[in-house]
Structures are given as structure tokens and as C-alpha cells.
Amino acid sequence: MQPSYILSLENVDAYYGPIQVLYDINIRIQKGELVCLLGGNASGKSTTLKTILGTCKPKKGTIRLKGERIDGFPTKRIISKGVAVVPENRRIFPRLTVLENLEMGAYLRKDTAQVKRDIDRILELFSLLGDRIHQFGMTLSGGEQQMLAMARALLSNPEILLMDEPSMGLSPRLVDQQFELIQQVHKQGTTIFMVEQNANMALSIADRGYVLQTGVIVLSDTAENLLNSEMMQEAYLGERGM
Ligand SMILES: Nc1ncnc2c1ncn2[C@@H]1O[C@H](COP(=O)(O)OP(=O)(O)OP(=O)(O)O)[C@@H](O)[C@H]1O
Ligand SMILES: [Mg+2]
């Protein structure tokens, strides 16, 4: 029997107008996994997430969420089926408080009592946000906004959490803090697909990884094997001097 995947992309091609950006992408993610997609600038990482979310329509191939085809669905429908995202630029609501931002994450849920319990549970993990619960989003630091965006996404109770470069724009200390949080959220059972340029950091917490080069997946392996792979060092890590 085939293993059951939360999310799978099979032979996916994606274009912006006439320009092809993704070539024959195959990615499979099982329940509870933390999988990363690595690659340099313009390699197609964000486009992969946009294609999963339906904001960029695949021209060829199949995307499934828990076995059901979702390619071609409108983004709203894909989100309502359990795909949450922390986008590249975070996009929290600047004029809402931290608490209101969190509540927005759960706006599709009808189980209000459970939402309250989930907010309390999430604030235990994201304790820094608890201290700022009535502060406006726009007054948070970059690292705090990244935390809020992730906490808000988790409040939709997603089948899978997509993250676009959680380390972007954060100081090394905040990157450590952010990755520690991602690891804890993963340990509590959330399935995560994370896009990152910071390969060493991402692989240090991931189960598996894929490496994208100009729209093509050139490597795919366990995080441990990728960290020790010569090809990886040459193709990616070496190039960045990490
Ligand atoms: N809306 C768009 N219209 C046309 N081309 C686009 C559009 N968005 C992205 N591209 C192009 O698609 C390619 C892949 O972009 P993408 O944003 O997926 O890369 P990325 O790996 O996320 O890069 P970065 O690390 O800089 O975020 C790039 O060449 C980019 O210029
Ligand atoms: Mg990007």
C-alpha cells in the first residue's frame, strides 16, 4: 500500500505568462513531517508555495491534499481545506492587536470555546506574544511579527503549515529563536513545509529536504544526508560560503 501523504505535488509545471518557472516538481509530505525546500534567489521557492495555494495555477501535474486533488481550486477553498501559510512578508494586521490578529487566524472555525483554549495553548509556546497581547501589530518588532504570523496561521488548526523564509530579515539571535519555535510546533504534531535559503539552519531542524535550482529539484534526501552530502555542499552550501 502507498503511504498516505498530507500533501503531494506530482510532475508540476508552473508559469508566469509564457515564462516557465517550475519544471516537473515532485514533492511528497507525510503527516507530522517537517520538510524544507531549499534554493537560492529566484529558484522558484515562493512560486512552489503559490502553486500549492492556487494563486499560481499549475499548467501541468497534480496537487493533492490528503489524497484529494486541489489543483485548480480557488485559494479560499484550498485554505478552507486546511492549508495555512506564513507568507514571505508576514502580512499581519498592523491596526489590530495581537489578540485580534490571533482571532483572525481562527475566523473560519465555529468551535469558539476550543479556539479560546487553542489561543491559550499557543500563547504558552509563544509566551512573548502573551506579554504583548493588547499591543497593535504594527508596534511589534520584526521577530515578534514573524512569531505572530506563525501563531495566527496555527490557529486555523491546519493540516499543513507552509512557511516562506521564516529567517528572512531577522538577526542571528532571532533566527535561532524562530527555528526553536518551529521545532517545538513540529514536535507538537504540526506538519510543516518550509521554504528557506538558510540551508544549514533549516536542515538542522527538518526531517527531509528538497533542493531547487532554477525551477528544478536537483536533490532530495533526509536532512542528515543533505547536510553531509558533497553534492549539496557544492551545489548550494559552498556557493553561499556556509
Ligand atoms: N508575478 C510574477 N510574474 C512574473 N515572474 C515572476 C513573478 N513572481 C516571480 N517571478 C519569477 O519567477 C522566478 C522564481 O521566483 P520565486 O519568487 O519563486 O523565487 P524564490 O526562490 O522564492 O526567490 P527568493 O529567494 O528571492 O524569494 C523568478 O525568476 C521571478 O522573477
Ligand atoms: Mg521567495
Residue whose Cα lies nearest atom 2 of ligand 1: it is: 16
**Residue 8 is assigned to a structural domain of this protein:** no
Domains: count for the chain: 1
Q: Which of 104, 129, 128, 106 is nearest to 117 (CA)?
A: 106
Taking 50 as the threshold, does the pLDDT of residue 240 lie above it? Answer: no
Residue whose Cα lies nearest atom 9 of ligand 1: it is: 47
Task: Show the 3-state SS of 118-157.
Answer: HHHHHHHHCHHHHCCCCCEHHHCCHHHHHHHHHHHHHCCC
**Residue 69 is assigned to a structural domain of this protein:** no
The response to whether residue 16 sits with its C-beta less than 6 Å from ligand 1 reads: yes
Percent of the chain with pLDDT over 90: 79
**Residue 9 is assigned to a structural domain of this protein:** no
- Whole-model pTM: value is 0.93
- CATH number for the domain harbouring residue 224: 3.40.50.300
**Residue 74 is assigned to a structural domain of this protein:** no
Contact 47, 31 (CB under 8 A): no
- pLDDT tens-digit series, residues 5-57: 999 999 999 999 999 999 999 999 999 999 999 999 999 999 999 999 999 99
**Residue 99 is assigned to a structural domain of this protein:** yes
- pLDDT tens-digit series, residues 94-122: 999 999 999 999 988 888 999 999 999 99
**Residue 36 is assigned to a structural domain of this protein:** yes
**Residue 181 is assigned to a structural domain of this protein:** yes
Alpha-carbon gap, residue 203 to 194, rounded angstroms: 10
Range of the domain at 194: 32-54+82-240
**Residue 204 is assigned to a structural domain of this protein:** yes
